[in-house]
Amino acid sequence: MLKADNIVTYRQFLAAAGLTWCLFGILIGRFFQIQILEYDWYSQKANSNRIRKVTTTAPRGLILDRNGQILVDNFPTYVLTAIPWELSDKGEKFEFISTVIGLDSNTVSKSYKKYYRGRFNPTRLAKDLTFDQVSRLEESRINLQGVYYENFPERYFPSRIRGSHIFGIVKEVDRDVRNSLRNKEEYELGDMIGWSGIEKRYENYLKGERGIIFYEVDAFGRELGYVKDLEPTDPEPGMNIITTLDLDIQYFIEGIMKNRKGVILVGLGDSGEILGAVSAPDFDPELFTGLILETTWNEIRNNPEKPLLNRFLQGMYPPGSIVKSVTQAALLEKADFDPNTFFHCDGSYQFGDRLFGCWWQEGHGELDLTGAMVNSCDIYFYKAVQYLELDQLAEMFIEFGFGEATQIDIPGEVYGLVPDKDYMNKKHGRYNWSKGALLNICIGQGEVLVTPIQVLNYLNLLATRGNAYRPHLVMVDELPVNEIPTLKDETWDRIISDMRLIITDENGTGKNAEPDIPGMLVYGKTGTAENAHGESHAWFIGWAEYADQKYSVVILLENAGSGGKVAAPIAKMIFNEIYKSDKLVYK
Amino acid sequence: MILPRSTEFRELPIHILWSALFLTSVGLVVLKSISQHSSGAFFQNPFSKQLLFLIPAVILCIVIYHTPRSFIHKYSYALYLLGIILVILPFFGAPQAGTHRWLYVGLPFTLQPSEFVKICTITALARYLSDHNLQMKKFTSVIIPIILVLFPTIIILQQPDLGTAIIMIAPILPMLYWAGASFFHLFLLLAPIFSMLTAFHTLAFTTWAVLLALIIFISRPKFMMGLILFFGNIFLGLFSPVLWNGLKPYQQNRILTLVNPGDDPLGAAYQIIQSKTAIGSGGLVGKGWGAGTQTQLKFLPVQESDFILSVMGEELGFIAIAVVLFVFGYFSVQILKFSYLSKDRFSSLVMIGCATVFISHVFVNTAMTVGLIPVKGLPFPFISAGGSFLITSYIMLGLVLKLSINYSD
């Protein structure tokens, strides 16, 4: 046994040893390549493996009134979540949670199914929990392993007012919303985004910045704690927005418009700041803070009174006689018209083959231009407007800001309509309309359509002889400059003194607006706009001068009848309220 | 270590022993890092499990060291048969994880008999090649050794365990080379493998066919023999696509994953990617013991055995890896050296066989962790956790230590 000699040669040994070292050399070289040469790449890869970036919600900025009163606030609600893999006896726990927070247990499990994204991801069970509900759950913490809650700031409205059309609504960012955004990387699903009104226009200021927390996760995606070298950043709350609104005035005019349909705008004539704005009917803004029920939403959307329509921006109305001052200005500026010209009004006027009537069917008799303004006589204007071309009148409308955006600082504004020759040619054909159209337009009927916010701007321009700034809702450092109508001083004088007479004259259509407050001078114009939807819209526009301050008021009551009878008394109430509540000190 | 006689200690290939003990200690350090957060039972903890298995491993190593050389030689065929029986036994039990690799022995752990069969095959092969004063230049003398190896290999393939099967085949070429087989014959043994591998690529296959023809022409076998060899290989190559389709899908996947790791990110390729990420992110000096994120956060799979080198690469860095591989290279070449210095052929062949098993284990395991070859479930000798293989390694160590001393018996 074991007799056979070893016949291995030194050469064979060298070959085997050489091959062995070669293999080990290859392996060491490969490690050198991965660990030294490609270190950066793999290092980054290992980090992205283990680090999960989680962001925390930033509370939206508050919306305040001009005196610092909070109009839109955040309410700390809680979102209840569960980590599925930590959760045992789901049904039992959902049942328990439901009874504690007073919800249907179906709602909880439905939500669980809807938001489930994996065993280790927090899954939403319920939203809008109050601190009280959460603390009741906290008492039974021991039975609720795997159930967590997160703070979720939600919009709420602590003041007495609604302001639904001013503030607008916020919306939960879902997949569709997120895809429609240009800056979608700044939003996460479940975030709130301003969807209309100030919330939308000032979204970039209000939204704040999310906080970032870096969690270390294991291969199963479970969070194990913070990453040591990466500092978390706290969420940065959004900036507060100070509006030009006055809480008391807004509350007062919202009260007036309860059960009415239309618009009230109250503003400061010079600066264009809006003190109050109501579009009625409106909706309860609280409805949109949390999850809105399908039925409630449909109810609001299908309501024939259109509560979602922001009437002062998006309602296009025939202005009626409130724009007679525009015609007046056009006559004085564009045509060679003597304001002392007398015309006779007998209640109707034949033009071509059509008979045009005055609102006062018995006729006003002999009138000059001032008399025609005070009595709001239509016949006088039918006759006087013969001195004008349509385009001249249209130009004057545009100088007063009609037919274009007022650039108010909430989105959705419509332009209204100022018909000129081109428009009429396009609409009716070059030879199919006559100067008769001018007769309608000069008294604010026919094709011309305005928005109440344009009317407010127009009113402010009248009150300030063209020096008013554009109407706006948020306090700004640089007031938005208007395009100033270039009228002669005499024209301004005449327009303004006529508007004063409308209030003070015995026959003045606006005399119901006179508040009889010593030191307060009220100027105004009424309007009764015929329309296709039933009774006439009642208009009153006017301003009160008191100690160098001008308070402008625009009132529009849809289908309410005569402006002088219905709208003017409301203006009086508002002027009285301004006086009584010591709001005469604005500067 | 208790040694029989003080005189022998000087003769003992002490560098081999120290290298093995060093690698074992490194393995324990790494296993301790993996185990520090493990809260399972004693046997769930790879570190304590490894420590426990070290006891029988060291005892067996000493026993083997004290076994007379003639005894090993005498009973090598009997051991071979015993090994075959052991490897067949698991087929009588219920399959575990779809395989018949493990044998229940009534203990809280299982044994993997295929590990021990590696040794039995080496000793049996060594005995056959040394007993028969073979004319190794003749091709026919190669047939019986091949059958000796293929028999257990085919059984292991049925378990199925492709990795171990490859290790089983590995020693035959070096042992035949050691026993004096001609280069041409060894080439003919390897030729079918090349024929099969190149068959999937037209240019490669053409190049191979030309090379094959050239080598056959230079070696000048009998004309008919040359023709048979050439066309046999060509036909094998042509049939390989058919054979490929006969492979199990998981085997195909493992091979394909190497070609394109992006295809299967959560399967085998996922493991390779996580392993490379662990190693690469370790850099020169590593992230620190117990601080490897890939390891501790469990991104790295089978980290206590197949991917233990990735743990080391991540936590201890390139320097540690280079030292371990260098020590292992030194360990292997030392065995080769004593194999060359051995006086009798049997000892020399056993040692080259053991060296081949060690080297191929290291190569397959390491190349796998760095994405050079497909994922093969093979442990790293002395370092990876795994009782059966640890014991096998120590038995081989005992054999090497015993047989490298020329003056005993």
Residue A101, Cβ density class (10 Å: 0-12 exposed, 13-18 middle, ≥19 buried)? buried
Task: Determine phi and psi for B113, rounding to 5 degrees.
Answer: -60, -25
- As a whole number of angstroms, the distance between CA A102 and CA A96 comes to 10
Minimum-distance CB partner of A39 among B280, B297, B329: B280
Minimum-distance CB partner of A39 among B70, B283, B362: B283
- As a whole number of angstroms, the distance between CA B231 and CA B237 comes to 10
A347: pLDDT strictly greater than 70: yes
Measure in Å the smallest separation between the Cα of A111 and chain B Cα atoms: 31
Q: What is the mean pLDDT of residues A454-478?
A: 93
Tell me which range, A43-57, A132-146, A179-193, A510-524, is most confidently predicted by mean pLDDT.
A510-524
Q: In percent, how much of chain A has pLDDT > 70?
A: 97
Q: Which residue of chain A has the CA closest to B298? A: A219
Beta-carbon-side half-sphere exposure of residue A522 (alpha carbons within 13 Å): 31
Q: What is the mean pLDDT of residues A322-343?
A: 91
Residue in the structure block whose two tokens are 């005449």: A494
A250: pLDDT strictly greater than 90: yes
Minimum-distance CB partner of A46 among B277, B321, B370: B277
Which of A3, A10, A11, A24 would you mutate first to test chain B, the one with the most B CBs within 10 A?
A24
Question: B357, B16, B342: which is closest to B174 by C-alpha?
Answer: B357
Q: In percent, how much of chain A has pLDDT > 90?
A: 46
- As a whole number of angstroms, the distance between CA A129 and CA A150 comes to 10
Q: How far is CA A285 from CA A265, A516, A517, B16, in A?
A: 19, 37, 36, 84
Q: What confidence tens digit (pLDDT) does each residue in A251-295 have?
A: 999 999 999 999 999 999 999 999 999 998 998 888 877 656 678
Measure in Å the smallest separation between the Cα of A117 and chain B Cα atoms: 19
B327: pLDDT strictly greater than 90: yes
Q: What is the CATH number of domain A51-69+159-243?
A: 3.90.1310.10
| Interior/surface letters B328-361, b for 16+ CB within 10 angstroms, e for the rest | bbbbbbbbbbbbbbbebbbbbbbbbbbbbbbbbb
- As a whole number of angstroms, the distance between CA B324 and CA B365 comes to 13
Task: Specify whether the CB–CB gap between B126 and B76 falls below 8 A.
Answer: yes
Residue B123, Cβ density class (10 Å: 0-12 exposed, 13-18 middle, ≥19 buried)? buried
B216: pLDDT strictly greater than 90: no
A202: pLDDT strictly greater than 70: yes
Q: What confidence tens digit (pLDDT) does each residue in A481-509 have?
A: 988 888 999 999 999 999 999 999 988 99
Residue in the structure block whose two tokens are 């009230």: A264
Residue B379 DSSP symbol: P
Q: What confidence tens digit (pLDDT) does each residue in A16-49 have?
A: 999 999 999 999 999 999 999 999 999 988 888 7
Fold of A77-152: Penicillin-binding protein 2a (Domain 2) (3.90.1310)
**Dihedral angle over CA of A441, A447, A453, A455, nearest 10:** 10
| Mean of per-residue pLDDT scores for chain A | 87
Contacts of range A185-192, beta carbons closer than 8 Å, 24 or more positions apart? A188/A55, A190/A124, A191/A57, A192/A60, A192/A154, A192/A155
- As a whole number of angstroms, the distance between CA B167 and CA A447 comes to 96
- As a whole number of angstroms, the distance between CA A17 and CA A19 comes to 5
A229 vs A445, more confident: A445
Q: In percent, how much of chain B has pLDDT > 90?
A: 33
Q: How confident is the model at residue B236 (pLDDT cuts 50, 70, 90)?
A: confident
A398: pLDDT strictly greater than 90: yes
Residues of B in contact with A43 (CB under 8 A): 280-281, 283
A384: pLDDT strictly greater than 50: yes
- pLDDT for the residue numbered B332: 95
Q: What is the mean pLDDT of residues B219-239?
A: 81
- pLDDT for the residue numbered B273: 85
A189: pLDDT strictly greater than 80: no
Q: How confident is the model at residue A247 (pLDDT cuts 50, 70, 90)?
A: very high
DSSP per-residue codes, A5-53: BP---HHHHHHHHHHHHHHHHHHHHHHHIIIIITHHHHHHHHHHHHEEE
Q: What confidence tens digit (pLDDT) does each residue in B1-49 have?
A: 344 444 454 556 888 999 999 999 999 999 999 888 766 666 678 898 8
B257: pLDDT strictly greater than 60: no
- As a whole number of angstroms, the distance between CA B226 and CA B184 comes to 12
Q: How confident is the model at residue B254 (pLDDT cuts 50, 70, 90)?
A: low
Write down the H helix ranges in A304-389: 311-314, 324-334, 369-375, 378-384
Q: How confident is the model at residue B186 (pLDDT cuts 50, 70, 90)?
A: confident
- As a whole number of angstroms, the distance between CA A27 and CA A38 comes to 15
Residues of B in contact with A6 (CB under 8 A): 340, 342-345, 347-348
Residue in the structure block whose two tokens are 């890869």: A45
- pLDDT for the residue numbered B2: 41
Task: Specify whether the CB–CB gap between B69 and A2 falls below 8 A.
Answer: yes
Q: Which residue of chain B has the CA closest to A40? A: B281
Q: What is the mean pLDDT of residues A56-83?
A: 87
The two structure tokens encoding residue B181: 């087989």
Question: B402, B398, B318: which is closest to B59 by C-alpha?
Answer: B398
SS3 A352: coil
The DSSP bridge partners found for residue A551 are A268, A544
Non-local (6+) Cβ contacts of A62 within 8 A are A70, A71, A72, A73, A74, A240, A241
Residues of A in contact with B299 (CB under 8 A): 46, 49-50, 218-219
- As a whole number of angstroms, the distance between CA A218 and CA B162 comes to 31
- pLDDT for the residue numbered B38: 67
Two domains, one topology: A77-152 and A314-580? no
Measure in Å the smallest separation between the Cα of A23 and chain B Cα atoms: 7
Residues of A in contact with B327 (CB under 8 A): none
One-letter amino acid at B383 equals I
Residues of B in contact with A30 (CB under 8 A): 367, 370, 372
Q: What is the mean pLDDT of residues B106-121?
A: 82
One-letter amino acid at A27 equals L
Fold of A314-580: Beta-lactamase (3.40.710)
- pLDDT for the residue numbered A354: 83
Instruction: For chains A and B, count residue pairs whose Cβ atoms are closer than 8 Å.
Output: 156
Q: How confident is the model at residue B226 (pLDDT cuts 50, 70, 90)?
A: confident
Task: Determine phi and psi for A282, rounding to 5 degrees.
Answer: -120, -160
Minimum-distance CB partner of B180 among A7, A34, A220: A7
Query: What angle is formed at CA A124 by the lines to CA A188 and CA A106, rounded to 5 degrees?
Result: 140
- pLDDT for the residue numbered A22: 93
A207: pLDDT strictly greater than 80: yes
- pLDDT for the residue numbered B363: 92
SS3 A577: helix
According to the 3-state scheme, what is the secondary structure of A150-193?
Answer: EEEEEEECCCCCCCHHHHCCEEECCHHHHHHCCCHHHCCCCCEE
- As a whole number of angstroms, the distance between CA A522 and CA A511 comes to 10
Q: What is the mean pLDDT of residues A183-187?
A: 81
Taking the domains of chain A in order of start, what are their residue ranges?
A: 51-69+159-243, 77-152, 314-580
Which of A7, A12, A35 would you mutate first to test chain B, the one with the most B CBs within 10 A?
A35
- As a whole number of angstroms, the distance between CA A160 and CA B224 comes to 109
Q: Do B280 and A13 touch (CB under 8 A)?
A: no
Q: Which of these ranges, A28-32, B226-230, B304-308, B336-340, has the smallest mean pLDDT?
A: B226-230
A203: pLDDT strictly greater than 80: yes
Residue in the structure block whose two tokens are 């393995």: B27
The DSSP bridge partners found for residue A81 are A124, A148
- pLDDT for the residue numbered A498: 94
Minimum-distance CB partner of B359 among A10, A20, A39: A20
Q: What confidence tens digit (pLDDT) does each residue in B266-293 have?
A: 566 778 888 999 999 999 999 989 888 8
Residues of A in contact with B277 (CB under 8 A): 42, 45-46, 49
Q: Do B336 and A16 touch (CB under 8 A)?
A: yes
- As a whole number of angstroms, the distance between CA A500 and CA B201 comes to 101
B161 vs A8, more confident: A8
Q: Do A2 and B70 touch (CB under 8 A)?
A: yes
- pLDDT for the residue numbered B408: 46
Q: What confidence tens digit (pLDDT) does each residue in B371-400 have?
A: 887 777 789 999 998 888 999 999 999 999
DSSP per-residue codes, A198-221: HHHHTHHHHS-B-EEEEEEE-TT-
Q: How confident is the model at residue A569 (pLDDT cuts 50, 70, 90)?
A: very high
Q: Which residue of chain A has the CA closest to B71? A: A1
Measure in Å the smallest separation between the Cα of A247 and chain B Cα atoms: 57
Task: Specify whether the CB–CB gap between A81 and A147 falls below 8 A.
Answer: yes
Q: In percent, how much of chain B has pLDDT > 70?
A: 87
- pLDDT for the residue numbered A4: 78
Q: Which of these ranges, A118-132, A536-550, A568-582, B69-83, has the smallest mean pLDDT?
A: A118-132
A524: pLDDT strictly greater than 90: yes
pTM, full prediction: 0.65
Which of B74, B281, B316, B362 would you mutate first to test chain A, the one with the most A CBs within 10 A?
B281
